[in-house]
Structure 1
């Protein structure tokens, strides 16, 4: 941390949210001259006591632009109503992990954010003590006001000039959770007024004088190569200024978005005709991998072959999931301005540092010349972890040396995306004398052996003979993490399989989960990532809160699921009613219990849990993106089915109260939803679903047991 007095009054406190401030950090002397490309993040305290906190992490809708400053403000002990929040740019010198992904921002920032606020508070106390000529130990700060033993009071704004001359105490005492005034209390999203009134916040809102707009024609199928193109009609469109090829893509640049879009529609292109993959090919390839021997073993406990050979019974099931698009409300877009002196990038991206490095390497420029400013994102869900659209903007601007914004149409976004990969799981368990003796999980995935599978989550450690194998197929179709990567489909497969397994051996699905978790307590296996005690607590609480142990209302069928991911433990109970006309389930209520440690902002936390559950139910029920000859067969929402407002259930959220450090929250509620829904459908229909989307297979004999 560093302090600087402002020429116009007030003080700047330099903070690095995720690392100690680097010694070479230079502080600006006048707030009016601040260049957001030249510093990391600061607390700015004005003479009137108002505080501005510059937030470093990308805001994707997960609420970090609100919750991270709340943590600083808590320890600073300033009323939340006196805090203003602004987005900081990428600064690789003074930040670490400026990333929105993995539900990790609060988890990684918790300790340093608190210490930053506490150190600043202590510095202001020392400044007040100096003005009063008393010992700092006689003073205390509360709600932006410092009081001494005599009852004298000074506001933070009254002492900022003195504070700027002091050394900062690096390890000031932190508050106890019982003393929190901001953390654990509801706070409205800091951008909400701008969002609902349409103020410019998002990438598509960004404007710069003289900027142009670029629409890109990309290959019509993954794996296609551009042979030639005719742009004669495109150039006749009023407003079109440039048309050129880069790689296997064609850029149409215009003075407005409409002209760029219409110009692209006029393009005539010829592509090669090599036969490419279809959904049927993926099914055959992945099943072939599961039947083969070309696996990488990620974990092997005991002796699977032995216990399977000695078993009274072996239960084996294969679960299947399709490709899925990310379906962000705001399609991909980014601004770039490449000149001889610098490369300026602005827009919505979850990985600004990765994009900065990629652009610098591609253009052959010093990375110090590449700046990245972040806008708020209209959704991401992992799609904006991949900066292909950033690279397109940089290449186009570099080619024509104009400031441009590349923008995707909805059709571009859905057909030229980075998708959740299609995955198949094969799970087998051995039973001897009515007890589970072995568990074998195999994954066959498109493009990655780690997008869908984690080897050290439950039931790892609870079953003595346990093995996890993965196999991978490399496809032309581009894939990327999708909300709750590794677990978004695996949770459905495992929780469905476990419920069937428990039913076969005649075990209560709740009690046996608790019993298996009991076996993990006290383990010395450092590979185990979940806490059996915390998982047991969310299970017991979900049973109590949902009324699971009592008769369900007439016509209601319940399913249970419990899962750990992104460092958080979640249990869910889904209540459904079957529609007599359609034969499809109507999800009426979901009771969810979450242990994510201390909840910083309950309002934001509930929103994340509710959204994750609805997203999980919607995609389990409806999500499907088939391919034919390398091309997606759905290009907009009239065919790609999302859950609708009237289909969204009531969601009742309960958080386990403890004083443990916060863990992930944007993703952990999604994975258990599909499993709980599938288990409820089994109770209602007697059918166990083996594939998603559920609506595709309910009412058929395909991919169904029973």
Structure 2
């Protein structure tokens, strides 16, 4: 078996300087969740370490090095992945060191972060990696003691032979174990025997984050590298002429270069480049559609009425259902473009050489970064390395590699290592937004208040399919029609946290409340009635969602929130299935001095087994805060192909004092872990909007709420967290 590679050793040394040293041992806030780590030198940890598989190595000292392949952007994957490996390995968590793996398509599958799919994809692979290493360690000990492996047991990095009283640490047999042949199949633990999985574990990088260690792409620095910042053309326009004389005269500016439809200023640091960029005189001309937000309302109106739609799902006879309806409910809901606005703006380091490229920086899709570099340079992908830094947020924006390609272009043109940095203004104006969408819903009811027909038409701007045609209430309504119209906009869009469902859930769940009201039924009872229909006799064949799990979170949310039992609390309900996970939410509003005040949001999640309760809670609360903030405040408008909001003075984000109490609950459904980074965002807007209606009888059908007359008339108060 091979020892640690040179690149892995270098990465480990950078991290082990904080995790293995004694600097933080005396601080209770660093050691409250686990025993103090034994202080070991870096050389002792790494000496002759044996690599058992792509995920772990074990040193003679007993320290376990676990590699986390997927990019870490705050979803806690760099902690939860190693927890799974360490569980099956029966490792001593206090002796575990975690390293971010670089891009390696030979060793890892799906080495990306997106779609809340990392844990579902890797769950079994991670468990097998740990279990395989444990098998080899036990086999080595059994051979050493000349006993059967069946007589041995393991716990916290120690192998025991009960009959003789012998014990030995993993490190003492690591070299021998690495020489054995790994089995094709291994036995995994029974979940009831888990000791690490399911326990609260703090982020393995907390120490480095708290003390400002260089973890993020913006932190990266290499002696002799150049810096670059870029001026990009407005959407639908191209460069006509450039006057860069004033920019070149700024001290610290080395050059001004042009590629594709962008102008890059290059120099010794970012400060002179920010000044120089403002001095560029770039004239543009139209190169297609130059759009403004004033045009979008008319576009939506026309396409909803006359657009050529693609039928995504059709069950029963919708025309007959509406023709024979006792009552028809119709409503339209609309959402704007949104910026991803991660805390860390886009940045990347590139060094293009004659026959290879070195890439370092924050990316959700390192393989896409490599492909982008290959396209720009013509260099074979196998000669392009990608080192992944920690990401200061992504939310889908870093799925794209446009900013990586920019860094590669400039490095190639300058024949030098270059670090590209976007300013906050670049980040808000640089494209790849959440698409703007408008939905029209229609529901038919019979004389008994039963929903007999359901229609949804979605119109999205570069949204692709703006519907999720197989999600609830599909399968629960006899007659159903879901259609999609896509408008090709010059404004570039991208996946945004919980793509499409981030707004669709709000629109659908708000509309279902409207239908329940028209039917004279309690909103939760109305949904449960539909779910029972889907369970007993699903329309259209096999369902794409688990009705029992959806019923489970719905009933639990009603119970935990005391739904409808306190006349002084006005409540709104929402439930949604996305990324394999089921989430139900109830928002509580109370009147304080005549003002409706959002007091609390109850969240019930069924994401299968919870690997790390601490990390899970952070994801749930973060999703709720993100969903609330963007439903209430976020808006990106355009004029002449450029965003009107260019920084946070105009682009409104939620503030800490505006966050209500959030109570979290988890349904133990017995399933393997499913997605958690995104599913808790979609239901939030609907729960809040439905609670506002319950309290005020004002229906909010457009986001952001704060810009709607129905909202501003309320003087809605927010409870300080």
Report matched runs for 1:610-621 at 5 Å: 610-621=621-632
The count of aligned residue pairs is 671
Match of 1:407 among 416, 421, 443: 421
State the Cα distance separating 1:576 from its structure 2 match: 2.1
Q: Does 1:116 align with 2:129?
A: yes
Q: Does 1:439 align with 2:450?
A: no
RMSD of aligned Cα (Å)? 2.2
Q: Does 1:393 align with 2:407?
A: yes
Match of 1:94 among 97, 107, 126: 107
The residue number in structure 2 matching 1:22 is none
Kept in 1, the 8 Å contact 2:355–2:379? The answer is: no
Q: Deviations over 1:596-627 (max 9, x none)?
A: 00000000000000000011111111111111
State the Cα distance separating 1:698 from its structure 2 match: 3.7
The residue number in structure 2 matching 1:351 is 365
Q: Does 1:448 align with 2:463?
A: yes
The residue number in structure 1 matching 2:649 is 638
Q: Does 1:80 align with 2:93?
A: yes
Kept in 2, the 8 Å contact 1:40–1:90? The answer is: no
The residue number in structure 1 matching 2:716 is none
The residue number in structure 2 matching 1:536 is 551
Report matched runs for 1:570-609 at 5 Å: 570-577=583-590, 586-609=597-620
Structure-2 change in CA distance of 1:225 and 1:40 (3 Å): farther
Gaps spanning 5+ residues in structure 1: where? 12-29
Gaps spanning 5+ residues in structure 2: where? 10-44, 714-721
The residue number in structure 2 matching 1:311 is 325
State the Cα distance separating 1:577 from its structure 2 match: 3.6
Measure the CA separation in 1 of the matches of 2:80 and 2:139. Answer: 28
The residue number in structure 2 matching 1:472 is 486
| SS of alignment partner, residue 540 of structure 1 | helix
The residue number in structure 1 matching 2:153 is 140
Kept in 1, the 8 Å contact 2:516–2:526? The answer is: yes
Measure the CA separation in 2 of the matches of 1:359 and 1:65. Answer: 26
The residue number in structure 2 matching 1:545 is 560
The residue number in structure 2 matching 1:661 is 672
Structure-2 change in CA distance of 1:224 and 1:577 (3 Å): farther
| SS of alignment partner, residue 370 of structure 2 | helix
Q: Deviations over 1:631-674 (max 9, x none)?
A: 11001111111111110011110011232101110111111000
Match of 1:198 among 180, 191, 212: 212
Structure-2 change in CA distance of 1:257 and 1:307 (3 Å): same
The residue number in structure 2 matching 1:419 is 433
Match of 1:334 among 328, 348, 353: 348
Structure-2 change in CA distance of 1:597 and 1:199 (3 Å): same
| SS of alignment partner, residue 154 of structure 1 | strand
| SS of alignment partner, residue 489 of structure 1 | helix
Measure the CA separation in 1 of the matches of 2:366 and 2:54. Answer: 15
State the Cα distance separating 1:40 from its structure 2 match: 8.8
State the Cα distance separating 1:700 from its structure 2 match: 7.0
Q: Deviations over 1:45-91 (max 9, x none)?
A: 11111101111001110010000110000000012111110001111
Q: Does 1:58 align with 2:76?
A: no
| SS of alignment partner, residue 214 of structure 2 | coil
Measure the CA separation in 2 of the matches of 1:501 and 1:139. Answer: 63
State the Cα distance separating 1:31 from its structure 2 match: 6.0
Measure the CA separation in 1 of the matches of 2:243 and 2:135. Answer: 68
The residue number in structure 2 matching 1:14 is none
Measure the CA separation in 2 of the matches of 1:7 and 1:503. Answer: 64
Kept in 1, the 8 Å contact 2:55–2:126? The answer is: no
State the Cα distance separating 1:526 from its structure 2 match: 6.1
Measure the CA separation in 1 of the matches of 2:124 and 2:347. Answer: 34
Match of 1:270 among 274, 277, 283: 283
Structure-2 change in CA distance of 1:362 and 1:578 (3 Å): farther
TM-score, normalisation: structure 2: 0.90
| SS of alignment partner, residue 552 of structure 2 | helix
Structure-2 change in CA distance of 1:230 and 1:501 (3 Å): same
Q: Deviations over 1:110-152 (max 9, x none)?
A: 1111111111111100000001011111111111111113221
Match of 1:624 among 632, 635, 638: 635
| SS of alignment partner, residue 689 of structure 1 | coil
Kept in 1, the 8 Å contact 2:441–2:454? The answer is: yes
Kept in 2, the 8 Å contact 1:330–1:378? The answer is: yes
Q: Deviations over 1:217-264 (max 9, x none)?
A: 111x21121111111111111111111111221110001111221121
| SS of alignment partner, residue 315 of structure 1 | strand
State the Cα distance separating 1:200 from its structure 2 match: 0.2
| SS of alignment partner, residue 241 of structure 1 | strand
Kept in 2, the 8 Å contact 1:382–1:480? The answer is: yes
Kept in 1, the 8 Å contact 2:549–2:669? The answer is: no
**Which deviates more from structure 2 when the two are superposed, residues 79-88 or residues 263-272?**
263-272
State the Cα distance separating 1:549 from its structure 2 match: 3.7
The residue number in structure 2 matching 1:569 is 582
| SS of alignment partner, residue 584 of structure 2 | strand
The residue number in structure 1 matching 2:717 is none
| SS of alignment partner, residue 550 of structure 1 | coil
Kept in 2, the 8 Å contact 1:41–1:55? The answer is: no
The residue number in structure 2 matching 1:483 is 497
State the Cα distance separating 1:341 from its structure 2 match: 2.2
Kept in 2, the 8 Å contact 1:456–1:527? The answer is: no
| SS of alignment partner, residue 101 of structure 1 | coil
Q: Does 1:689 align with 2:703?
A: no
The residue number in structure 2 matching 1:672 is 683
| SS of alignment partner, residue 652 of structure 1 | strand
Measure the CA separation in 1 of the matches of 2:712 and 2:560. Answer: 35
Structure-2 change in CA distance of 1:579 and 1:619 (3 Å): farther
Q: Does 1:429 align with 2:440?
A: no
Measure the CA separation in 2 of the matches of 1:430 and 1:83. Answer: 59
Measure the CA separation in 2 of the matches of 1:700 and 1:558. Answer: 17
| SS of alignment partner, residue 245 of structure 2 | coil
